[in-house]
Chain A
Amino acid sequence: MIARQQVGLATCTLGEVKNRADLVIFWGCNPRESHQRHQARYSASVKGQFIPEGRKGRRIVAIDVRPTSTTAAADQFIQVEPGSTFETATLLRALVAGKRIGIEEDAKVGGVPLHVWRELAEAIKAADYGVILFGLGVTHDRGHDLNVEELGALIREVNDYTRFYGLPMRGHGNVTGSNQVMGWQTGYPIAVNFNRGYPRYNPGEFSVLGLLAREEVDAAIIIATDPGAHLPGDSVAALQAIPTIYLEPHVNTTTGWATVVIPVAPAGVAAEGTFYRMDNVPLRVRKLVDSPFPSDEEVLRSIKETILHA
């Protein structure tokens, strides 16, 4: 998100990946374990309109710090040193632009010989429709949003030669939907503070970790996430020290300590709603079974109305 606010992002929907992408680069992600249907539906074996041969019609490159099942199934695995995303993306930008690099041909960048990067840059320019699918290995590597910014700059510069796009391999159910709704209601996708009566945005300062670390939060409503499993220990301790209301369909590492747990109907199973896919395509999720529990929306509405009419 922060990188998008710096350089933007050239992207496409997953159907375009399926129908057109003849070069797919998995960078710092392992969809064969994290997004198990992704390759079969969109990015590797699937037959697309202009990639009728499916897997054979695509060149697949995996860039990662360790071998994974994704790298094993790729046409090429480029094993990089941890912490080298920014450096290697910068190198690719220079190679794509035909700039003089100023290092020896046999030197290594990110632990990989220069000629490998040179060949990758040529492959990127030669593709008809290339995509980089990037994951936590990029966003949570040293440099964080700066890595994505550099990848974003690479992607847009390659568009001087061919169509070339990036898609973040997002996890967590409907995190994209949360960004979208926050975007249209508050102007900002994350880290919004309303304590002055209008939306203010400052990632870090107004992010969950920052607010909890400074003990600025005196009560929390937690929805559709499991902080006990995802937040650092200090943050969990800070949450445990204040009243918390937790909306959650399952027993997990947070339900044990939240002050109030309100069991809710799971969305897409016992409650309907809108789910924004990782490529921002909005899908309707349906209610398949009845649940004795209310939906998230019903709970929030009744809390709001109770407060309004108190």
Chain B
Amino acid sequence: MLRVTNGRVHDPGNAVAGEVRDVWLDGGKVVAEPAAEPADVATLDAAGCVVFPGGVELHSHVAGSKVNAGRIMCPEDHVDHYRCRTDVTRAGCGHTVPTTYLTGYEYARLGYTTLFEAAVPPLTARHAHEELRDIPILDTGCYTVMGNNHLVMKVLSDPDEERRAARLRDLVAWLLHATRAYAVKIVNPGGVESWKWHGGPVDLDTSVPPYGVTPRRILTGLAAAADELGLPHPVHVHLNHLGVPGNVAVTLASMQALAGRRAHFTHLQFHSYEATRSGSYASGAPAVAESINQHPEFTCDVGQLVFGPATTMTSDAPMEFRLHHLHKDKWANSDIEMESGAGVVPMRYSPRQLVNAVQWCVGLELMLLIRDPWRVFLTTDHPNAGPFVAYPMIVRLLMDREFRREWLEKLNPRVRRFTTLHELDREYTLDEIATVTRAGQARVLGLADKGHLGVGADADVAVYREQGDRERMFAAPAWVVKGGEVVVRDGEVVAAVDGRPLGVDLGDPPPLAADLAEQFESYSSVRLANYAVEDAYVPDQVLIPCAP
């Protein structure tokens, strides 16, 4: 039994806002305070500390084919960022694309205990699971990309609305089960397939070859399927036109199309740009934030830009090709048959570069203008907008407007013409930080045992020493506890326990429909019988129930 005592507990899920109270942990769970002092109890004295639930990361790129393509392509990212092995940790390296072990240690060192890989094509799902198993300490899961999947688009091309919905629901369940994934991911719906046909960027109502379905139908169809299956996490949407000035139009139109359905919009910063008269970037954050404010069924994460190096990697292959043309630096691409694509391009964001400065402001504007912290989450779309190790600094930017102003002074001065960040005075409270980094994320993921410290919650706890400098405070927790074991002490990993894989309980989904199975056998380069990920890749997977 472990007791965390004397700390100020911030547990927004249970409306505990900084009260000094004890948290008792036993058998991997938070338990009620025992009636009598137990004999074998270890105590962490958290006097002068805040006690948070373990952090929950719902959108990061940490495992799988495109992440590893980034690692392999970019040795320059690793050479100055290495860790020697210790008695409890393995050696590793990498800054924006760290090795799997280092990824686990670095997340744990920030107080995170749960992590989701945000984009996995079904064909390479085994690879993602192999890497997730090599990420220590954190419980992990992944999302399956479906927004350019041929079977999905074929089903969606059915004119019969009812049959279409029923077949899509079965297909989504089958795909999720085959990939042992946690949620439905949509990346640039229709846009990746269009690119394979040399088509241009797609709008919401562009008919996409070869099945003639529109991004609108892909979005609404998959959102409905996720809802009807009662998946714990709604569709996780990367919209069309990522990174393009003026994309606020397609963002708002997509939100309009999904109104009334649960949906999570990811790295919204990249989707919230107005176009200036010269076609350059201006903030569209106020309009997008207002749309989120008005739709309680929506959540989003921000994808905050971090100045310095980044490695962009996404299934949005055409977007990566466009990025590659900015600098003509190296570019990796992989079209994935019948499913998806992927691209990787290294980047460096600079505060003097006006576009980057606008992007940086847009992210913070979204965080400050969206009023409900339960519906906007802190991410950097790691490593696309920057590495996750920047979270403590971003927390300070949110909590400390003076610090924000200092940073605004360092930006390209023209940025004030194109954003409103300098007018925003809001400062996040500790409770709000706890919400946007764990409580809210766990809730939208449907993880009832995570992101809070009520009795029955997983014994995942992060304890930070109170400091005026919030960046230092959140960069080195006094303790991090995972599953009841102390894994980090004073910002250093002291035990590298194994995390568990997370999945959804779909029961025994119906087999792939005969016409789809025939299509698969005809055109895939693997046999259907060899497609589904075996149990061996997700040993003891924890299955979260669906609520259809």
Once the chains are docked, how many angstroms separate the CA of A283 from the CA of B337?
15
B331 and A163 contact, CB distance less than 8 A? no
Option from B123, B124, B134, B337 in Cβ contact (under 8 Å) with A184: B134
Instruction: Report the stretch among A5-13, A23-31, A82-90, A113-121 that lies at the interface.
Output: A5-13
Option from A19, A50, A183, A199 in Cβ contact (under 8 Å) with B82: A199
The distance from the CB of A40 to the nearest CB of chain B, in whole angstroms, is 12
Residue A55 CB within 8 A of the other chain: no
Render A9-42 as a binary contact track against B, CB cut-off 8 A, 1 for contact.
1111111101110000000000000000000011
Residue A139 CB within 8 A of the other chain: no
Q: A187-B92, A187-B93 are in contact. Are A48 and B534 (CB under 8 A)?
A: no
Render B328-364 as a binary contact track against A, CB cut-off 8 A, 1 for contact.
0011111111100000110000000000000000000
B84 and A187 contact, CB distance less than 8 A? no
Residue B14 CB within 8 A of the other chain: no
- Which residues of chain A come closer than 8 Å to B126, judged between CB atoms? 274, 282-284
Residues of A174-189 at the interface with B, using a CB-CB cut-off of 8 Å, are 179-181, 183-189
- Which residues of chain A come closer than 8 Å to B100, judged between CB atoms? 184-185
B337 and A15 contact, CB distance less than 8 A? yes
Q: How many A-B residue pairs have CB under 8 A?
A: 168
Once the chains are docked, how many angstroms separate the CA of A200 from the CA of B210?
47
Mind listing 15 A-B residue pairs with CB under 8 Å?
A: A16-B196, A49-B338, A50-B210, A163-B198, A165-B333, A184-B100, A186-B92, A187-B98, A188-B71, A197-B85, A198-B83, A199-B91, A274-B130, A282-B124, A284-B536
Q: Which 4 A-B pairs have the closest CB atoms?
A: A15-B337, A15-B525, A12-B335, A8-B330
Output the residue of B75, B90, B98 with the most chain A CB within 10 A: B75
Residue A260 CB within 8 A of the other chain: no
A14 and B525 contact, CB distance less than 8 A? yes
Residue B127 CB within 8 A of the other chain: yes
Residue B324 CB within 8 A of the other chain: yes
Residues of B62-104 at the interface with A, using a CB-CB cut-off of 8 Å, are 63, 65, 67-69, 71-75, 77-79, 82-85, 90-94, 97-101
Residue A162 CB within 8 A of the other chain: yes
Q: A4-B332, A187-B99 are in contact. Are A281 and B72 (CB under 8 A)?
A: no
Render B123-137 as a binary contact track against A, CB cut-off 8 A, 1 for contact.
110110011001000
A183 and B523 contact, CB distance less than 8 A? no
- Which residues of chain A come closer than 8 Å to B256, judged between CB atoms? none
Minimum CB distance partner of A186 in chain B: B99
Residue A226 CB within 8 A of the other chain: no
Residue A201 CB within 8 A of the other chain: yes
A280 and B84 contact, CB distance less than 8 A? no
Residue A99 CB within 8 A of the other chain: no
- Which residues of chain B come closer than 8 Å to A201, judged between CB atoms? 75, 78-79
Residue A100 CB within 8 A of the other chain: no
Residue B429 CB within 8 A of the other chain: no
The distance from the CB of B12 to the nearest CB of chain A, in whole angstroms, is 35
The distance from the CB of A164 to the nearest CB of chain B, in whole angstroms, is 10
Residue A196 CB within 8 A of the other chain: yes
Once the chains are docked, how many angstroms separate the CA of A128 from the CA of B330?
23
- Which residues of chain B come closer than 8 Å to A186, judged between CB atoms? 91-93, 99
Residue A77 CB within 8 A of the other chain: no
Render A273-310 as a binary contact track against B, CB cut-off 8 A, 1 for contact.
01010001111100000000000000000000000000
A184 and B131 contact, CB distance less than 8 A? yes
Once the chains are docked, how many angstroms separate the CA of A9 from the CA of B332?
5
Residue B530 CB within 8 A of the other chain: yes
B198 and A128 contact, CB distance less than 8 A? yes
- Which residues of chain B come closer than 8 Å to A11, judged between CB atoms? 332-335
B337 and A13 contact, CB distance less than 8 A? yes
Minimum CB distance partner of B533 in chain A: A284
B65 and A280 contact, CB distance less than 8 A? yes
The distance from the CB of A73 to the nearest CB of chain B, in whole angstroms, is 21
Residues of B519-538 at the interface with A, using a CB-CB cut-off of 8 Å, are 522-526, 530, 534, 536
B94 and A41 contact, CB distance less than 8 A? no
Option from B72, B90, B524 in Cβ contact (under 8 Å) with A179: B72
Q: A198-B84, A198-B92, A284-B530 are in contact. Are A18 and B334 (CB under 8 A)?
A: no
B124 and A188 contact, CB distance less than 8 A? no
Q: A198-B83, A282-B124 are in contact. List 19 more A-B contacts (CB 8 A).
A: A8-B344, A8-B345, A10-B332, A11-B333, A12-B336, A13-B334, A16-B337, A18-B523, A180-B68, A183-B71, A186-B92, A187-B77, A187-B78, A187-B92, A198-B84, A199-B78, A199-B92, A280-B124, A284-B534
B130 and A16 contact, CB distance less than 8 A? no
The distance from the CB of A51 to the nearest CB of chain B, in whole angstroms, is 10
Once the chains are docked, how many angstroms separate the CA of A19 from the CA of B210?
12
Residue B321 CB within 8 A of the other chain: yes
- Which residues of chain A come closer than 8 Å to B195, judged between CB atoms? 163
A162 and B198 contact, CB distance less than 8 A? yes
Q: A9-B332, A185-B100 are in contact. Are A42 and B196 (CB under 8 A)?
A: no
B123 and A13 contact, CB distance less than 8 A? yes
Render B296-334 as a binary contact track against A, CB cut-off 8 A, 1 for contact.
000000000000000000000000010010000011111
B334 and A280 contact, CB distance less than 8 A? yes
A13 and B336 contact, CB distance less than 8 A? yes
Once the chains are docked, how many angstroms separate the CA of A185 from the CA of B126?
16
Q: A19-B338, A163-B198, A185-B134 are in contact. Are A41 and B525 (CB under 8 A)?
A: yes
B91 and A194 contact, CB distance less than 8 A? yes
Once the chains are docked, how many angstroms separate the CA of A308 from the CA of B38?
36
The distance from the CB of A44 to the nearest CB of chain B, in whole angstroms, is 14
- Which residues of chain A come closer than 8 Å to B94, judged between CB atoms? 187
Residue A220 CB within 8 A of the other chain: no
A282 and B130 contact, CB distance less than 8 A? yes
A49 and B72 contact, CB distance less than 8 A? no
B93 and A18 contact, CB distance less than 8 A? no
B93 and A198 contact, CB distance less than 8 A? yes
Minimum CB distance partner of A185 in chain B: B99
- Which residues of chain A come closer than 8 Å to B196, judged between CB atoms? 16, 20, 129, 163
- Which residues of chain A come closer than 8 Å to B127, judged between CB atoms? 180, 276, 280, 282
Residue A141 CB within 8 A of the other chain: no
- Which residues of chain B come closer than 8 Å to A76, judged between CB atoms? none
- Which residues of chain A come closer than 8 Å to B93, judged between CB atoms? 186-187, 198-199
B536 and A272 contact, CB distance less than 8 A? yes
The distance from the CB of B376 to the nearest CB of chain A, in whole angstroms, is 31
A163 and B72 contact, CB distance less than 8 A? no
Once the chains are docked, how many angstroms separate the CA of A276 from the CA of B334?
15
- Which residues of chain B come closer than 8 Å to A189, judged between CB atoms? 72
Once the chains are docked, how many angstroms separate the CA of A213 from the CA of B359?
52
Option from A18, A129, A276 in Cβ contact (under 8 Å) with B525: A18
Minimum CB distance partner of A129 in chain B: B196
Once the chains are docked, how many angstroms separate the CA of A281 from the CA of B98?
22
- Which residues of chain A come closer than 8 Å to B90, judged between CB atoms? 185
Once the chains are docked, how many angstroms separate the CA of A280 from the CA of B64?
11
Once the chains are docked, how many angstroms separate the CA of A20 from the CA of B94?
36
A159 and B68 contact, CB distance less than 8 A? no
- Which residues of chain A come closer than 8 Å to B77, judged between CB atoms? 187
